[in-house]
Amino acid sequence: MPHLFLNERSCGITADPDRVNRAMNEMVAAVLAMARADRKGTALITHADSLLVLELARGHSISKWMGAPGTDRDARVLLKGLDDKSPFRTVFPEGETYSGLEYRHGGEAVEGLGWAHELGGIGISLPLEMRWDVDRITLEREELLDDEDGGSALTEVEVRHAARAEHVDTHLPWIRRGADSARHKAVEGLRSGTELWGLKSDLFPLLQFTRQAEQHFAELPEVWVRPVGERLGELQDAVSDWDPRQRPISPQWRSYVRTEFESRRRYCWFPEDDGKQELFDWHCEFLPKPGRMHFRLLHDERTLRIAYVGRKLGKGGAPIP
């Protein structure tokens, strides 16, 4: 989770190109905020055959937004990197067509928002009209009944929705519960640090690791694999919320994290990938003692970089026996 379903009714209208680009920037900020909370599980699903041929407004394709001067390059790259499962039918359960089901808003059929409700996802819209500039939308759901009368059932339903980054806040706890559940399940099944290292990009996509850290993961005893995975998850959650402008020292940690005492910082120097020695004096513990994980904060990138995991460091930078 979450699957993000584009509301096709918010696209294709006639609008000024600059206004369309601004609306797209707002929607993309919402998409990336959700992807930051669950990068592995986030997929963008549109009514078009693919994201790259999507028409945002009449005569204004997504490629025009990508080439516009005000479009953030990083946002463009991250959006293209999301899992694109368009069109809608590609995410239907095998053999299911939903032919007897329709969702409407204001009397108009709304496929994307309907599938967001039916398949447990989130609807997203370009905020070009006020009716889409909300964090939840009420829809009318009509389902044909499989009975002798051949009638239908009408109900009102509410769908999670976002058109700008501010709307995402209300959905973050739900998104994180899904991401945490999937992550915990994956970590529970691991038996070696090598397995954990191999899944780090999927389970902890916001964290960075030095190349040398791979050796430390490979040397982890099995008893430390799950605790290390749990700590990595907490660090991932902490940096996902981190805004260095509001918290210039560090993120809001999910467990006990601190910098090393001055007298012990000489043990916390590790080579970066370019060979330069850097101070990785932020650290957290994991059980059974004396497990330690050392990292440094990268404020400009809103993340942290891990260099060491293993036994508590002692004299000369070696683990304490």
Tokens of 257: 């994290």
pLDDT single digits (tens) 246-284? 999 999 998 889 999 998 999 999 999 999 999 999 999
Q: Higher-confidence residue: 309 or 177?
A: 309
Hey, what amino acid is at 112? G
pLDDT single digits (tens) 125-177? 999 999 999 999 999 999 887 765 668 888 999 999 999 999 999 998 888 87
pLDDT of the residue at 315: 56
Q: Higher-confidence residue: 317 or 65?
A: 65
Tokens of 48: 């078009």
Q: Higher-confidence residue: 190 or 317?
A: 190
Q: Which sign, positive or negative, has the C-alpha torsion 304, 186, 291, 308?
A: negative
Is 80 exceeded by the pLDDT of residue 320?
A: no
Is 80 exceeded by the pLDDT of residue 40?
A: no
Give the SS3 label for residue 294: strand
With a pLDDT cut of 70, the percent of the chain lying above it is 94
Closest CA to 118 of 147, 96, 145: 96
Closest CA to 36 of 73, 4, 70: 4
pLDDT single digits (tens) 209-249? 999 999 999 999 999 999 999 999 999 989 988 989 999 99
Rg (alpha carbons) of the chain, rounded to whole number:
23
Boundaries of every domain in the chain: 3-171, 189-317
Q: Higher-confidence residue: 9 or 77?
A: 9
Instruction: Output DSSP code: residue 179.
Output: H
Residues 165 and 35: their CA atoms lie apart, in Å, by: 11
CB atoms under 10 Å from CB of 3, counted, come to 18
User: What is the mean pLDDT of the segment spanning 52-80?
Assistant: 84
